[in-house]
Amino acid sequence: MDLYPISSKSLEKFYHIDGDLLGQQYKDHMSDYHQWEQKDHADQWIIFPENMGPRLSIDETSPSNGELYTVVTNKDAHGKKGALVAIVAGVQSEYVISVINRIPFKYRQKVVEITLDMANTMNLIVKRCFPNAERVIDRFHVQKLAYDALQEMRIAHRWDAINEETDAIQNARLEHRCYSPEVLPNGDTKKLLLFRSRYLLFKSPEKWTPQQSIRAKILFDMYPDIKKASWLVHKLRVIYNTSKHRGIAYKKLALWFNEVTDSGFKSFNTISATIYSHYNEILNYFNNRATNASAESFNAKIKRFRTTLHGVRDLKFFFYRLAKIYA
């Protein structure tokens, strides 16, 4: 149990023991939990300066009851022993900064790269705690904003189609006739077309199935604005996939930004403002193509461990278990 994210209950069927009793025995007698030097403040913060490395990730996670914690991990540990650098309660920047600054400056100044999302709090934490680190905004957070903008347009059209169909049904009733919706060449109604197009808009055109290609053609013929927005999303994906150098990405993103501005799509205002505000951090991705995948993976491990335990009753002990496995 010191080495793997397993629960005492999961051992019952293999060893014919009382899992609850084993868990209590492990906590009180078999482990060094009660002698753990970070036990008193473990539900507020734990830090492991010895696990610092040149490349870190910072993200937020929710180990229990929706409470948010800031998690710092060492990328070079690849989610194994030595990955956990710090867990701090909350995402309030000043408090998180005060905790991370407990790590000696000689360790913090050696950090050269940190990947993060676009939250201003995370940006401030990194700027204040790791002054020599290059801040890299994860590409998938940027692309998600573009996907969300495209889906917002699709949803707006779908609500229009729903309202249009509702009005048509009511008019048919008033006129004592049966309502029959228009059926498109692929068998969809307009409402179903917009509903079933959700997933194809997340994919590159070359990955569409034959049926999705037919649906996309009908969708784009009926809604040219969705076609234009889909093309903008695809172009952003291509920029990230094909730009090998920061200078090339800079020029391509500038042209893409101008296209978004010229399109006049209100749903793309958020991503436009984000790129304008975080241009340098977004471009830093193209230096080493660093992502926050390691942080997302570590968060997934925390969630799976929580599920294995059927919930977290004692946060301090839960963090002790995480520390034994990943610190």
Residue 22 within any structural domain of the chain: no
Name which of 105-109, 177-181, 203-207, 305-309 the model is least confident about. Answer: 305-309
Residues 167 and 85 in one domain: no
Answer yes or no: do 61 and 191 share one domain.
no
pLDDT digits (tens, 9 = 90+) for 248-274: 999 999 999 999 999 999 999 888 888
What pLDDT shows up at residue 195?
Answer: 96
Nearest to 69 by CA among 325, 322, 281, 309: 322
Residue 196 — pLDDT band, cuts 50, 70, 90?
very high
1 in any annotated domain: no
Assess contact for 116 and 123: CB atoms under 8 A: yes
Q: Does one domain contain both 76 and 213?
A: no
Q: Would 20 be classed as within a structural domain?
A: no
Average pLDDT, the chain: 92
- 250 and 313 fall within a common domain: no
Domain count, the chain: 2
C-alpha to C-alpha distance for 288 and 297, rounded to whole angstroms: 19
Amino acid at site 217? K
Q: Does a structural domain hold residue 132?
A: yes
Contacts of 113 (CB under 8 A, 6+ apart): 54, 55, 56, 133, 134, 136, 288, 290
pLDDT at 311: 83
Range of the domain at 111: 32-138+291-326
Query: pLDDT band at 21, cuts 50/70/90?
Result: confident
Whether residue 190 sits in one domain with residue 169 = yes
pLDDT above 70 (res 22): yes
The region that residue 78 occupies, defined by phi over 0 for left and psi between -120 and 50 for alpha, beta otherwise, is left
Provide the pLDDT for residue 2: 63
Any domain includes 27: no
Q: What is the pTM of this model?
A: 0.86
The answer to whether position 168 is within a domain reads yes
pLDDT band at 163 (very low <50, low <70, confident <90, very high): very high
Tokens for 319? 């963090």
Q: Give a three-class secondary structure readout of 208-240.
A: CCHHHHHHHHHHHHHCHHHHHHHHHHHHHHHHH
Domain containing 114 — which CATH number?
3.30.420
Are 203 and 276 part of one and the same domain? Answer: yes
Q: Do 126 and 162 reside in the same domain of the chain?
A: no
Judged against a pLDDT cut of 90, whether residue 14 lies above it is answered with: no
Q: Residues 178, 262: one domain? A: yes
Give the pLDDT of residue 296: 87
In a shared domain, residues 78 and 102 = yes
Q: What is the mean pLDDT of residues 272-291?
A: 91
277 plus 296 within the same structural domain: no
Residues 267 and 182 in one domain: yes
Determine which of 45-49, 113-117, 158-162, 311-315 has the lowest per-residue pLDDT on average.
311-315
State whether 147 and 272 are in the same domain: yes
